[in-house]
Structure 1
Amino acid sequence: MSENNLSPLLIAVFALFVSVNATIPDYIHTCKRTDPKIEQCVINSINILKPQLTKGIPEFEMPSIDPLKVAHMNLNLGPGFKAEGKDLLISGAKDFEIQNLVVNLKEDIIIIDLYIKKLIARGIYEIDGKIASIPLKGTGPLFLSGDTVTAHVVLHGKKVNKNGQLRYYFPSMDLKLNIADYDLKLEGIGGGDPTLGKVTNQVLKDEKASIKQTLVPAIEKSLSEYLLNAANNICKHFTWDELFPAS
């Protein structure tokens, strides 16, 4: 769901504005900043670009959108638990839908609302905690699935003069994630003890509401860092006029 990644999608948004004076692959359809229907143009272009997003676009330092890779994510699973996920692979992002897009170049803000029916993450967990005074410490496979995932992303842009050229980058972004429902499983708890594993995963299920309050911010943080880095990777290849041509 995260492991950073909603990335390629947002990078694509910026790539779509690249000037025809630059070397633009055929699969990228540009949109002019003077277009009165610029938002719909960008949405159409992103939908055309979807097959490339799945494969990844190395020339724009854009990794594959599916699976998305997240190296590390802290997981606060409630009182008595300390856990983290590592080497996560997240699938399902390629099926994203853009519900809303706002391009405000005057205020240097881009807003995107996304919907994904289902995201599935697999990786490794490390845990240190207790259940009913029984110490739990170890590592094993992690499975996390999220249903009806929506994201509200606000990118804040800024123009800077660098070596005599006007450049554009994104110093910050805000991301709010909502997951209607999720399922989290940690396998191999207690060295693979089936009873302890069953009890642990039942606790995770019973405490879903409280766990979600800490799980979602952790995913938001990981995604925000990944997306911001991805957006700036595409921007560094072009000047302001190349990213956002006037006509």
Structure 2
Amino acid sequence: MKRVLALLTILGINFVHSATIKGGIEVPTYLEPCQRNSPEFNKCIRNALQLLMGKLSKTGIPELELETLDPLKIAELIMTYDGGDIAGKVTLLDTYTRGFSAVKIIDVRSKTDDPNFFGMEIDFYVPRVVTNGIYKMDGRIAKFPINGKGIYNITATEVTGTWNLIGSPVTKDGEKFMRIDRLSVRPEVGNLKVHASNLINDNPELSQVALAFVNRFWKVLYQEMLPYAEESFDKILRQLVNKVFLKIPYDQLFPPAQTPSVV
């Protein structure tokens, strides 16, 4: 046994830690848990998230029903806009978003000292995000009535932002969990390019004019869409995050630092 352990050490193979969730399922955590009242907690979380995003991007975590994040697959998303230059209802189908495997976790700020409140801000950067799928829209973009259905592709570069998580405790079967009640984000984008077919139904010429308008004035349109898109981000991301927070007890996910015993 000693020889086997020595060989594993030489090969750089590390044993993973695990957390036990309901039903006795053990979920690998891939690193030491971060102690929530430690002065190094934020730094620990930043490093842990960076490693976890790499894991999620490749294989997901089947024990938590988390699929891969790259691509992130969304079967259906319905959004309603009512802004100055954009109004209408958009349905997105079979959406795939690629690029999250290259995410960089820049900084983490948290509030974990209140047993009735959980707060965390996570600054991130993604060099390139590409989203494609099928769309259906009934509304308008500026002066163009949009009643089309087709395929779309959006490429965003130099994406930065902050995930804001707000949670509260819940008790299940005598165990305390921290439920995320709100997960908001308003990403900033360096550049954005949109392609969409058939924006104006059965009128390819006007569809191209409308598409050219969108790509020319994307910054104005993007800012108008953000408040509405933020609600969609919250629904999608909060559901993903709670697959972790509502399955691993809070004291296992972020355990309190052990108080040294007095001899």
The bucket for the TM-score relative to the shorter chain is 0.7 to 0.9
Contact 2:66-2:240 at 8 Å conserved across structures: yes
Residue in 2 that maps onto 1:89 = 96
Q: Secondary structure at the match of 2:30?
A: coil
1:8 is aligned to none
TM-score by length of 1: 0.79
Match 1:195 to one of 191, 205, 211: 205
Tell me, in whole angstroms, the C-alpha distance in 2 between the residues paired with 1:137 and 1:221: 23
Partner of 1:63: 67
Amino acid at match of 1:64: T
The whole-number CA distance in structure 1 between the counterparts of 2:142 and 2:179 is: 50
Asked whether the equivalents of residues 28 and 49 of structure 1 are also in contact (C-alpha less than 8 Å), the reply is no
146, 167, 170: which one aligns with 2:156 = 146
Pairing of 1:125-136 with structure 2 (within 5 A) = 125-129=135-139, 136=146
Larger CA deviation: 92-101 vs 26-35: 26-35
SS at match of 1:198: helix
1:23-50 residue CA offsets vs partner (Å, 9 max, x unmatched): 3426344222243212222222233334
How far apart, CA to CA, are the structure 2 residues paired with 1:189 and 1:23?
49
CA 1:200–1:149: 2 relative to 1, 3 Å: same
Cα distance between partner residues in 1 of 2:220 and 2:143: 20
Report matched runs for 1:202-221 at 5 Å.
202-221=212-231
How far is 1:109 from its partner? 1.2
Q: 1:132 to 1:96 in 2, by over 3 A?
A: closer
Q: Specify the alignment match of 1:38 in structure 2.
A: 41
What's the CA shift for 1:132?
10
Structure 2, unpaired ranges of 5+? 1-16, 259-263
User: Which residue does 1:99 correspond to in 2?
Assistant: 106
Name the amino acid aligned to 1:112: I
Give yes or no for contact 1:113–1:152 (8 Å, CA) kept in 2: yes
1:52-83 deviation line (CA, Å, top 9, x unaligned) = 21121111222211111232142648647535
Q: CA deviation at 1:124?
A: 1.3
Q: Which structure has the larger Rg?
A: 2
Identity percentage of aligned residues: 23
Q: Which residue type is aligned with residue 96 of structure 2?
A: L
Deviation per CA, 1:121-146: give whole Å up to 9, x if none. 10112133568988653310111111
Give the residue type in structure 2 aligned to 1:72: L
| Segment of structure 1 superposing worse, 166-175 or 124-133 | 124-133
CA distance, structure 2, for counterparts of residue 140 and residue 214 of structure 1: 23
TM-score (norm 2): 0.75
CA RMSD for the aligned pairs? 3.1
1:123 aligned to which of 111, 130, 133: 133
Aligned residues: 232
Residue equivalent to 1:3:
none
Aligned position for 1:13: none
**Shift in alpha-carbon separation, 1:43–1:68, aligned structure 2, 3 A:** same
Report whether the alignment pairs 1:23 with 2:64. no
For the 8 Å contact 2:18–2:28, the answer to whether it is kept is no
Query: C-alpha separation between the residues in 2 aligned to 1:162 and 1:178?
Result: 38
